[in-house]
Amino acid sequence: MTAEVQSLLALAVVAVAALWLARRAFAKRKHPGCGHDCGCGPKLTKH
């Protein structure tokens, strides 16, 4: 893998992580107090 390809992939991963964190923060507001991290099953959070 060349350095350019690696950079592109790395930026893509960063973008995915940032989007996921942002989405998660947004979803949390809709269901206060219950994020995935606290052990809520998928049944409890509506996505």
Partner 1 sequence: MQLPPHINPPAPKRTAASGRAPVYALVGNPNCGKSTLFNALTGLKQKVGNYPGVTVEKKVGTAYSQHGQPLTVIDLPGAYSLAARSPDEAVTRDVLLGRRSDTAQPDRILCIVDATNLERNLYLVHQVLDLGRPVIVVLNMMDLAAEAGMAVFPDKLAQDLGVPVIPCEAVRGKGLIELRLAMSRPDLALSKHAWDIPGAIAPAVAEIQASLVANDAKSPLIARAESLLLLTDQDSVRVAGSTPLSPRTAEILAGWQKRWSAEGMDWAGTLVSSRYDAIGRIAAEVVQPGTVNQGPSPSDRIDAVVTHPFWGWVSLGAVMCLIFVSIFTLAEYPMNWIDGHMASLSDWVKDSMAPGDLRDLITDGAISGVGGVVIFLPQILILFFFIGLLESTGYMARAAFIMDRLMSRVGLNGKSFIPLLSSYACAIPGIMATRTIEDAKDRLVTILVAPLMSCSARLPVYLLMIAALVPNERVPLATKVGIMFLMYFLGTFAAFGFAWLFKRTLLKGEPPMMIMELPPYRLPGLKDVALQMLERAWIFLRRAGTVILGISIVLWFLSAYPKAPEGATPSEQLSGSFAGMAGHALEPAIKPLGFDWQIGIGLISSFAAREVFVSTMGVVFNAEADDGDTAPLREALLKARWPNGRVLFTPLACFGLMIFYVFAMQCVSTIAIVKRETNGWKWPLFQTAYMTGTAWVLALLVYQVGSALGF
Answer whether 43's CB lies under 8 Å from 23's CB. Answer: no
Nearer to partner 1, 3 or 26 (CB): 3
- Among residues 35, 11, 15, 17, the alpha carbon closest in space to that of 25 is found at 35
If one asks whether residue 47 binds partner 1 (CB under 8 A), the answer comes out as: no
First to last CA, the chain: 37
- The reply to whether 6 sits near partner 1 by the rule CB under 8 A is yes
For residue 25, the minimal CB distance to partner 1 (Å) is: 10
Q: Residue 14 carries which side chain, given as an amino acid letter?
A: V
Per CB under 8 A, residues contacting partner 1 are 1-3, 5-7, 9-11, 13-14, 17-18, 20-21, 24, 31-41, 44
